A = this chain, B = another copy of it.
Amino acid sequence: MKTYKIAVLKGDGIGPEIVDEAIKVLDAVAEKEGINFEFNEYLIGGSAVDVFDNPCPDETIKGCLNSDAILFGSIGGPKWDKLPKEKRPESGLLKLRKSLGLFANIRPAIIFDELVNASTLKPEVIKGVDLTVVRELTGGIYFGEPRYKDDNKAYNTMIYTREEIEKIAHVAFKEASKRNKKVTSVDKANVLEVSELWREVVEEVAKNYPDVELEHMYVDNAAMQLIRDPKQFDVILTGNIFGDILSDEASMIVGSIGLLPSASIGGKVGLFEPIHGSAPDIAGQGIANPIATILSASMMLDYLDEKKAADRIKKSIKKVLADGYRTKDLSSFDAKEIVTTSEMGSLIAENA
């Protein structure tokens, strides 16, 4: 029986509750597909600060490197907000991404027909949207040096090398080859030198993918077009900070941030996490929506090449939503029954 070692990083806030449901679902599909998971927990974020005074302990990185994949919950909360920067949960997440070489973040915006009314956008605008954001995750202004702050001035550096741009561009074009064969590369080349290089290199990489169409779009226009007509997009390729902004914006097309998964890949081990944060205000109440995390687990199975197991999860989620089960965040959208975090996890596990 095939066994996968999964590093489990539950994190803070609602992290533990939602990851537990993903594990429940993974165990259910494992049984049906005759595979096996070995789950090993490691601390990250605020909960790691509490124990090790370090938001990303070496032990966590070692554990991740020693696994086949990483399942991640969420990090952060008011308890740790006033700590010095290097101790804040966010720094732990950034260090983890960098240490593991997770340079490519992939965030599909998947519309569930059952929830087409959950968006603030009109149904005719979003029905049929099928786009994915490919965001560079270990470069750009997040990690650029020099960075500095005193009482009178502060700065950061947005920097990209040719090599970094090539790597992420290949990920986007490969993704588009498997999808609708269009890449929209987003930059601010009318103002930024770093975007000029971005555009040049993306055009060169494009030559290797003659069947994929490439278009360039300025980031301000992209922020607009995502609302005006999201159906025009297939793969959106962009840098770290623009990707941070645009992928969160794109998630709202779907209506609930509680539904969207992400994959961070490129290093030895892939990391899978919901795109939402740790929602400290609702932690521990059993009302968080576990679907984004369960879908992240499904992306993890795809990554492990367990396509059948991955599909089981996706189909089960669709069925449970079609049957009218909703967590509280989605209660106003054609709900037949409002269920808890754990009930939602059990329903998806049973139907998988």
User: Contact residues of A with B, CB < 8 Å?
Assistant: 76, 85, 88, 90, 94, 120-122, 125, 141-142, 144, 147-149, 151-163, 188, 190-194, 196-198, 219-221, 223-224, 226-229, 241-242, 244-249, 251-253, 257
A147 near B193: Cβ-Cβ < 8 Å: yes
The answer for the CA separation of A120 and B156 in the assembled complex, in Å, is 36
Once A120-B227, A122-B120, A220-B244 are accepted as A-B contacts, the answer to whether A155 and B193 lie under 8 Å apart by CB is yes
The answer for the CA separation of A229 and B119 in the assembled complex, in Å, is 11
Q: Which residues of B contact A220 (CB under 8 A)?
A: 244-245, 247-248
B228 near A120: Cβ-Cβ < 8 Å: yes
A224 near B197: Cβ-Cβ < 8 Å: no
A151 near B147: Cβ-Cβ < 8 Å: no
A-B contact pairs, 11 of them (CB 8 A): A120-B228, A121-B122, A142-B191, A149-B196, A152-B162, A154-B159, A188-B244, A220-B248, A223-B248, A227-B253, A249-B249
The answer for the CA separation of A43 and B190 in the assembled complex, in Å, is 20
The answer for the CA separation of A251 and B224 in the assembled complex, in Å, is 8
The answer for the CA separation of A193 and B226 in the assembled complex, in Å, is 29
A244 near B219: Cβ-Cβ < 8 Å: yes
B149 near A159: Cβ-Cβ < 8 Å: no
Q: Which residues of B contact A249 (CB under 8 A)?
A: 223-224, 226-227, 249
B147 near A155: Cβ-Cβ < 8 Å: no
Chain B residue with the shortest CB-CB distance to A241 = B188
CB distance from A101 to the nearest CB of B (A): 19
CB distance from A118 to the nearest CB of B (A): 11
A151 near B162: Cβ-Cβ < 8 Å: yes
